């Protein structure tokens, strides 16, 4: 193999490996500042924010009883929270939501929106995100 071919191939391989890692880091950092109630964790790994907002808007039109931010906060919040929760509280709240989502999938408490099979909690998170 010629030296030039080797250098071009190595550079292309390096870029092919580096770009996905950089992209993943950028996508995750956008979600870090959002409270867990409006951060559908699993969906945020493979859907753009705009697609998640569209799912939320579709859910709100399917379930008019939950078409207000106040109502969605009430059904998603595990308990009374202060207006400025700490990072530790956000972490615990996020873990509780993930457990709830897992339980809903096991109990087949799911809904289909825009072709996506979501737990009701995930759909509510998307709906809450669509308000912001």
Please write the tens of the pLDDT for every residue from 45-89: 788 889 999 999 999 999 999 899 999 888 888 655 444 444 445
- Let me know: does 50 contact 114? Beta carbons within 8 Å: no
pTM for the model stands at 0.69
pLDDT tens digit sequence for 4-48: 898 999 999 988 888 877 766 665 556 666 777 777 888 887 888
């Amino acid at each position: 193999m010629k030296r030039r071919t080797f250098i071009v191939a190595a550079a292309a391989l390096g870029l092919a490996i580096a770009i996905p890692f950089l992209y993943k880091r950028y996508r995750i950092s956008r979600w870090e500042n959002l409270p867990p109630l409006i951060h559908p964790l699993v969906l945020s790994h493979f859907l753009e924010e705009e697609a998640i907002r569209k799912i939320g808007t579709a859910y709100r039109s399917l379930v008019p009883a939950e078409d207000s931010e106040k109502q969605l906060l009430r059904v998603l919040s595990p308990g009374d929270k202060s207006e400025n929760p700490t990072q530790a509280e956000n972490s615990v709240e996020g873990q509780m939501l993930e457990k709830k989502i897992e339980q809903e999938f096991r109990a087949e408490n799911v809904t289909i929106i825009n072709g996506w099979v979501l737990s009701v909690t995930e759909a509510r998170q998307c709906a809450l995100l669509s308000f912001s």
